[in-house]
Amino acid sequence: MRFIILFLSILFVACGGDYLPKPKGYNRINLPEASYQPLPDTFPYFFEYSKHAKVLKDSSWITERYWINILYPEMGAAIQITYKPVTDSIVREFLSDSYKLTSQHNVKAYAIEESIIELPNGMFASFTELEGEVPTQAQFHVTDQDSTDHFLRGALYFRTATKNDSLAPVIDYIKKDILHLITSLEWKENE
């Protein structure tokens, strides 16, 4: 009989009081301090990229010789870099393709903001930030001063189903890396 009374008293005490559901939590994101390293000397372009990333050759079926992926394994992110030498003044076609690829995100993006950045070497870069549940949160392209020899384009992608608002600190971190990449970009001649 004692056990029944003890059991009932524990049951009443355990069920009493107001219950409030716990708020959803977010994963803790520890971001490393930014530091950079030079790109290997086998490309017609040079830039510095994050020491926390790996450079791998692009393995897609449409890849070209100087296309690479800058992978952030700890963050599930990649910056896809495509490079095309400019011949026969087809830079307008490359620029048009770059803008078309960005505009395809109009369906899900609630903001697309393009900035033109003057680089230390006198070149100009287009840096586009996309907001919303889009597959790429940042895109950029750079040509040489006369737009006659080089065209480089990049886009940031994440290999995760996590919503972009939860990834915001990582997105901002990698955007700073992209800006460093752009400002350290130089062309190599005769490649």
Give residue 50's pLDDT.
97
As for how many domains the chain has, the answer is: 1
Query: Could you tell me if residue 21 is inside a domain?
Result: no
Give residue 22's pLDDT.
64
Give residue 166's pLDDT.
79
Q: What is the pLDDT of residues 13-35, one digit of tens each?
A: 665 566 666 666 666 678 999 99
Give residue 98's pLDDT.
59
CB 132 within 8 A of CB 164: yes
Q: What is the pLDDT of residues 162-182, one digit of tens each?
A: 677 778 899 999 999 999 999
Give residue 44's pLDDT.
93
Query: Could you tell me if residue 36 is inside a domain?
Result: no
Q: What is the pLDDT of residues 70-127, one digit of tens each?
A: 999 999 999 999 998 876 556 566 656 655 655 554 545 566 687 888 888 888 888 9
Residue 80's domain comprises 44-150+161-187
Q: Which residue has the higher pLDDT, 137 or 7?
A: 137
Query: Could you tell me if residue 15 is inside a domain?
Result: no
Query: Could you tell me if residue 61 is inside a domain?
Result: yes
Please check the confidence at residue 56 and state whether its pLDDT lies above 80.
yes
CB atoms within 10 A of CB 107: 8
- pLDDT band of residue 11 (cuts 50, 70, 90) is low
Query: Could you tell me if residue 34 is inside a domain?
Result: no
Please check the confidence at residue 134 and state whether its pLDDT lies above 60.
yes
Query: Could you tell me if residue 13 is inside a domain?
Result: no
Give residue 55's pLDDT.
96
Q: For the chain, how long is the longest CA-to-CA vector?
A: 97
Query: Could you tell me if residue 31 is inside a domain?
Result: no
- What does residue 177 show for φ and ψ, rounded to 5 degrees? -65, -40
Give residue 95's pLDDT.
59
Give residue 162's pLDDT.
67
What is the DSSP code string of 31-72?
PPPP-EEEPPTTSSEE-EEETT-EEEE--STT--TT-EEEEE
Query: Could you tell me if residue 38 is inside a domain?
Result: no
Give residue 185's pLDDT.
93
Average pLDDT, the chain: 81
